[in-house]
Every structure is written in C-alpha cells, then in structure tokens.
C-alpha cells in the first residue's frame, strides 16, 4: 500500500471517531497525532472503535482481513498504533490478498 493511501485510510477512520469527540478534543489529521499512549485523547472505547473502523476500511482496500486490535499491541510501547504516522507505516507493509 502506498503511503498516501495508508494515511488517507487512517484519516477516514479519524473522521468517524471525531464524531464522538467534543470539538475541542478532536484528533488532528496529522502523522504526529497520538492514537495510543499517555498523550492520546482516546479512551479504551474510542481506541476500539477507531481500530475496528480502520480494520474494516483497510480490509476493503487490501481485499482481505486486517487485524490491528491486539490486546498485547495496545500495551506495547512499540505498537504501530502509537501515532497516525506509525499506523500508516504499518499499513504500508501490508500486501493485498
């Protein structure tokens, strides 16, 4: 997957999740935006909604299942879910089925 397409997928998922956040706390569509971690604004429900939404959209593009919601990954300091940028980088590594 190309970087631009990967970023757009993440941004589309951000659009979905931002509907559930107050205007002042909405996620910026930027590679630096934190998804998981102390500086993130999403609580556990927000993260689950965000990741499952992204899994579906990425799965459509890659024509196969994409699994990002791994309970160990959420606690891992090297999780690809850290920021929008790391998430897009992870998506870039996935090959279409």
Partner 1 sequence: MTCGPLYFVADFNVETLAREVANSAMPGTAAQTAPPGPVMNALASGSPGPEWSAVIWTRPEGISGSFGRALTYEEPGTDAAIEDARVFAESVAQFGRGTRATFVISWVLPPWHRGYGPLDFHPRLGIARLLSRMNLTLADTLHGEANVFVLDAARWISAIGPRAWSDKLWYASKSPFTPAAFELAAADIAAAVAGLHGLSRRIVIVDLDDVLWGGTVGEIGWQRIKVGGHDYAGEAFADFQRALKALTRRGIQLAIVSRNEEAVALEAIDRHPEMALRRADFAAWKINWRDKAENVADLLAEIGLGAESAVFIDDSPVERARVAAGVPGVLVPDWPADPAKYRQALASLRCFDAPFVTDEDRKRAAMYAAQRSRQASRPAAGDLQTWRESLEVTVTAERLADANLERAAQLFNKTNQMNLATRRLTSGELLDWAAAAGHEVLTFRVTDRFGDSGLTGLVGLAFDGGRARLVDFVLSCRVLGRNVEDMLLHVAAARARAHGAAELVAEFRPTARNAPCLEFLRGSGFRADGERSFVWDLAEPYPRPAWVTLKLEVKS
Task: Give me Rg for the CA atoms of the chain.
Answer: 12
Q: List the one residue from 2, 5, 20, 30 that touches partner 1 (CB under 8 A).
A: 20
Query: Any contact of residue 41 with partner 1 (CB under 8 A)?
Result: no
Query: Any contact of residue 44 with partner 1 (CB under 8 A)?
Result: yes
**DSSP per residue over 37-75, as a string?**
STT----HHHHHHHHHHHHHHHHHHHTS------HHHHH
Query: Any contact of residue 55 with partner 1 (CB under 8 A)?
Result: yes
**Tally of residues, the chain:** 97
Q: List the one residue from 8, 11, 12, 16 that touches partner 1 (CB under 8 A).
A: 16
Residue 12 CB, nearest approach to partner 1 (Å):
12
């Amino acid at each position: 997957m190309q970087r631009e397409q990967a970023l757009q997928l993440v941004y589309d998922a951000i659009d979905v999740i931002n509907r559930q956040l107050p205007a002042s706390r909405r996620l910026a569509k930027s590679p630096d935006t934190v998804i998981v971690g102390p500086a993130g604004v999403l609580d556990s429900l927000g993260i689950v909604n965000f990741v499952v939404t992204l899994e579906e959209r990425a799965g459509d593009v890659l024509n196969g299942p994409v699994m990002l919601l791994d309970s160990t990954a959420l606690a891992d300091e090297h999780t690809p879910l850290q920021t929008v940028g790391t998430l897009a980088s992870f998506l870039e590594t996935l090959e279409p089925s």
